[in-house]
Structure 1
Amino acid sequence: MRQIVCEAPDRMVLTEGELPPCGPGDAVVRVRRIGICGTDLHAYKGNQPFFTYPRILGHELSGEIESLGSEVSGLAVGERVSVIPYLACGACIACRKGKTNCCTSMRVLGVHIDGGMRERIVVPAAQLLSATDLTLDQAAMLEPLAIGAHAVRRSGLVAGETALVIGAGPIGLGAMAMAKARGARVIAMDLQEERLRFCQSWAGADAVVVAGPQAAADLAELTDGAYPDTVFDATGHAGSMTQAFGYTSHGGTLVYVGLVKSDISFHDPEFHKRELTLMGSRNATREDFDEVRRAIADGRVNIERYITHRAGFEEMIDRFEGWLKPESGVIKAMVEL
């Protein structure tokens, strides 16, 4: 079985591997699509927390069931599926509260354990979501969009409020799309004007702001001096995450969607003066996957334009370095098997 292994930072190799045994509650999935995300890129460059090498990357996955364990029901061989890559223990305090996305013993495919950058993968059947009504591309994109959906749901954003999403990458775009679906006014912020135009055409952003020294003044003008009710930072950049405190309204909410391998500090008097709510948003739950699935099925989210670059499995290693460059214009890269 062919597999691509990230052996160390800046080093990927194509190798042959053995398929692990399929247990009674497991399924063997023939991997057909692998989305490339910031986690993969950061791991490749050695900047990903919770990470050890060597590792098979890949957690944005869709494919077809090849075989099922003896205790599996509700799924069929040949069925198209999306993989929920967050393996929770089901027993810890977070799981007992229904917050399986932040299980104390969380294992994420492609991060804590080997992922799907291979021809076949064995996963618990409970981690599969039937996707017979979706294309393979759409099914693979449930995961990154579900992260944005989870952040929006967690924030409590409601129709009529103003949301600022900082970072126009795949996760930020998902948060924009889900915030719009809730009836919020959405402002997008990024360094690249080309990406901001995409935010307007793809996610329906109502206004855009170029990140930089003028950003706070621009936000004040767009909100009559009040600033956005909810700010989502999806950059994974410590400087941006710190500055986001100054972009949030009095009584507002700041949600960290992006993850940075660093400490974040803030000026406490400003935090208290505004009585801000600071949230972390991690991964997603099945509820978020279902919400995104409905949004794709009814046409509110266009996956064809979301995916901007493609490569075959054996081409990926040569293409990967180029996808890291801002000038490549990558929104979402997809590997096809």
Structure 2
Amino acid sequence: MKTVACTRPGQLEIRTAARPVRGDGEVRVRIRRVGICGTDFHIFEGKHPFLAYPRVMGHELAAEVLETGPDSAFGTGEHVIINPYLSCGTCRACTRGKPNCCTSIAVLGVHRDGGMCEEICLPEQNLVRSDGLSLDACATVEFLAIGAHAVRRGGIGADDRVLVAGAGPIGLGVAIFAKLAGAEVSILDLDPGRLEEACAIAGGCQPVKAGDGAEAQINRLTGGDGFDAVFDATGNLASIQSGFARVAHGGRYVLVSVVNETVAFSDPEFHKREMSLIGSRNATSEDFRTVTAALKAGNIPLERIITHRTDFDKVTEDLPRWAHDKDGLIKAMITLD
């Protein structure tokens, strides 16, 4: 069996490994699609805070069932979505319905080897029915679910003015589901081309070009009041710290991205707004269902989101190139047929 391993920062190798042996309660699946995420680029570049090398990356996965236990709810040949968050099921978070932030969570492709491989064995609870979605669509559910989860955490509704900082795939997912919730959405980004495309894909969002003039435009958009909810999906410390001042009095600030640094903010500014500061990590089964329903309803234009493709044998060339040249890149997909 072939795998793609990041052996150290800046180094990818195609390796040969033994085919996995299914354990009790597990299902053996064949990987059919792998979405390449910003996390994968960060791992390749040595910027991820929660990882040890070598690592087989890949957590945005569509798969085909190869082997199950005798009482499985899944059938051989069935296409499935993979929930890559492996949780313990017994910690305080898990028992209170939040396995996405399990105290001992293991995310495929980060804490343990992931899906840039031909086959993998996973707990059956981490398989999600495809519900008739295409393999391409199945491989986008996970990253979109992160956006759906953040929007749910932020309690977004039709009366909200929302700012999403960062027009990458995660920020795009946040914008899409904030729009579907009925909010008035603006997107902030440095790259004008990416910003324009994200605003169009999410359904008519207002673009805000980061840099000189951004705060003046934000004031014009909000009458100087700020946004009811601000989401940061940049993974940039300066951006996160700037976001506090963009939140309206009584508003919410949702941190979707993570940085390996300490975030500082003005306590008087925070308190006078009675601001809610919310962390949003990963996604839950509820969010996977929300995304699946939106894809089935045709509310997400996949043909504009999946912009780049490669196959298993070329990923060691293409991923390093895309890490440095993201011109026109929204979502890259690895096809295994």
- What is the Cα-based RMSD across aligned positions, in Å? 1.0
Match of 2:7 in 1: 7
**1:277 equivalent in alignment to 2:276:** yes
Contact 2:44 2:320 in 1 (8 A): no
> 1:84 aligned to 2:76?
no
Counterpart CA distance in 1 for 2:95 and 2:311 is 41
Shift of 1:24: 2.4
- In the alignment, structure 2 segments of 5+ residues that lack a partner are none
Aligned mates of 1:326, 1:205 — CA distance in 2:
27
1:135 alignment counterpart: 134
Q: Secondary structure at the match of 1:253?
A: strand
Following TM superposition, where does structure 1 have runs of at least 4 consecutive aligned residues deviating by more than 6 angstroms? none
The answer (yes or no) to whether the contact 1:311–1:336 under 8 Å persists in 2 is: yes
SS in 2 for 1:290: helix
Tell me how far 1:73 sits from its aligned partner. Answer: 2.1
The one-letter code matched in structure 1 to 2:62 is S
User: 2:143 is paired with a residue of what secondary structure?
Assistant: helix
> In the alignment, what sits opposite 2:46?
46
Show the counterpart of 1:125: 124
What pairs with 1:142-157 in structure 2 (closer than 5 Å)? 142-157=141-156
CA contact (8 A) 1:19 1:122 kept: no
**Equivalent residue for 1:322?**
321
Q: Which amino acid aligns with 1:22?
A: R
Provide closer, same or farther for how the CA distance between residues 265 and 326 of structure 1 changes in structure 2, counting only shifts above 3 A.
farther
Partners of 1:197 and 1:213 lie apart in 2 by 18
1:264-284 per-position Cα deviation (integer Å, ceiling 9, x unaligned): 111111111211111110000
CA 1:245 to 1:13, structure 2 compared with 1: closer, same or farther past 3 Å?
same
Aligned mates of 2:22, 2:72 — CA distance in 1 = 15
Distance across 1 between alignment mates of 2:131 and 2:250: 43
Give TM-score scaled by structure 2 length.
Answer: 0.98
CA distance in 1, matches of 2:239, 2:258: 11
Consecutive unaligned residues in structure 1, runs of 5 or more = none
Match of 1:290 in 2: 289
Is 2:221 the partner of 1:214?
Answer: no
- 1:243-322 alignment, distance < 5 Å: 243-322=242-321
- Residue type of the partner of 2:13? V
Residue 30 of structure 2 corresponds to 30
State the distance in 2 between where 1:297 and 1:44 align.
33
Distance in 1 between residues matched to 2:245 and 2:319, nearest whole Å: 36
- Secondary structure of the structure 2 residue equivalent to 1:105: coil
User: What is the SS of the residue equivalent to 1:24?
Assistant: coil
- Write the letter of the residue equivalent to 1:18: A
**Do residues 107 (structure 1) and 106 (structure 2) align?**
yes
Q: Give the equivalent residue in structure 2 for 1:170.
A: 169
CA apart distance, 1:205: 3.8
Give the secondary structure class of the aligned counterpart of 1:308.
strand
1:85-123, CA deviations, whole angstroms, 9 ceiling, x for partnerless residues? Answer: 000111111111101100001000000000000001111
CA distance in 2, matches of 1:205, 1:52: 41
1:23 is displaced (CA, Å) by: 1.3
Check whether the contact 1:309–1:334 (CA below 8 A) recurs between aligned residues: yes
For 1:61, what is the secondary structure of its paired residue? strand
Percent identical among aligned pairs is 47
* Amino acid aligned to 1:34: V
**In 1, Cα distance between equivalents of 2:162 and 2:131:** 34
Measure the CA separation in 2 of the matches of 1:123 and 1:327.
Answer: 32
Task: Write out per-residue CA displacement over residues 240-287 of structure 1, whole angstroms, 9 at most, x where no aligned residue.
Answer: 000000111111100010111111111111111211111110000000
> Which one-letter code corresponds to 1:330 in the other structure?
L
**1:69 CA drift (Å):** 2.2
Q: Name which of structure 1's ranges 283-292 and 324-333 shifts more when overlaid on structure 2.
A: 324-333
Q: Are the counterparts in 2 of residues 322 and 328 from structure 1 also a CA contact under 8 Å?
A: no
* Letter matched to residue 201 of structure 2: W
How many Å separate the matches in 1 of 2:180 and 2:15? 43
Alpha-carbon separation, structure 2, partners of 1:48 and 1:327: 19
Q: Provide the rounded CA distance (Å) in 2 between the counterparts of 1:208 and 1:118.
A: 38
Q: Deviation per CA, 1:212-247, whole angstroms, max 9, x where unpaired?
A: 132111111011111110000000100100000011
- The alignment partner of 2:30 has SS state of strand
